[in-house]
Amino acid sequence: MKIILASQSPRRRELLERMGITDFKVIPARGEEIATRTLTTDQLVEELSRRKCAEVAALRPKDLVIAADTMVFVNNRALGKPHSEEEAARMLAALSGRLHTVYTGVTVSLEGKTITSHEMTSVRFRTLAQADIIRYIATGEPMDKAGAYGIQGYGSVLVESISGDFYNVMGLPVCRLARMLARFGIDTLALAAEKEQRL
């Protein structure tokens, strides 16, 4: 059995490695992220992660597949990845001085057994001047991230407070995922200990 990460996100790869999982293969899901409008926020991210997982699991039925989908919501409006610097500026202006929520759906699948869950984290931005927004966009960091910011990068200076799983905001709730993997017989702390002993 091989562990497959159904995502090309470098942050999710990094977080899996931080959990002690170093022997895994990346096979990104390619399907369109089309969601059912009637779903609640938590149901939405769970459904999207399930679809990604099912797509890759169909290609690798004997392997354990991990898939995730992260979305940012402010005032009940979903903020995906910006398609332009203008859109990134609008997103950051919408987040300025406000509390928003970050939801991640996570699905793990192996040989027909599938577990899906989600995590929610609340994040408050400080009030941003237009100059702050322009300078942050100039770093290039917002352009491939949901909500147009990366909490683990330069975007950290925009975050005033956070309630919940920090890693969820990066795109993978590692504590929840570790508990899910344990149900498939994978002990991430044991893997981490083995990794450190090899060094």
Instruction: Please identify which of the residues 23, 69, 132, 144 carries the catalytic annotation.
Output: 69
Is 132 an active-site residue? no
- Smallest CA-to-CA distance from 74 within 97, 94, 104 is with 94
Triad 16, 19, 22: Cα angle to 5°: 60
- Smallest CA-to-CA distance from 60 within 140, 1, 103 is with 1
- Which conformational region is residue 8 in: left (phi greater than 0), alpha (psi within -120 to 50 degrees), or beta? alpha
Can you tell me the distance from the alpha carbon of 107 to that of 177, in angstroms, rounded to the nearest whole number?
9
3-class DSSP state for residue 134? helix
Can you tell me the distance from the alpha carbon of 68 to that of 116, in angstroms, rounded to the nearest whole number?
9
Residues, the chain: 199
CB–CB of 12/5 below 8 Å? yes
**Chain-centroid distance, C-alpha 122:** 14
CB–CB of 21/3 below 8 Å? yes
3-class DSSP state for residue 102? strand
* Active-site annotation, residues: 69
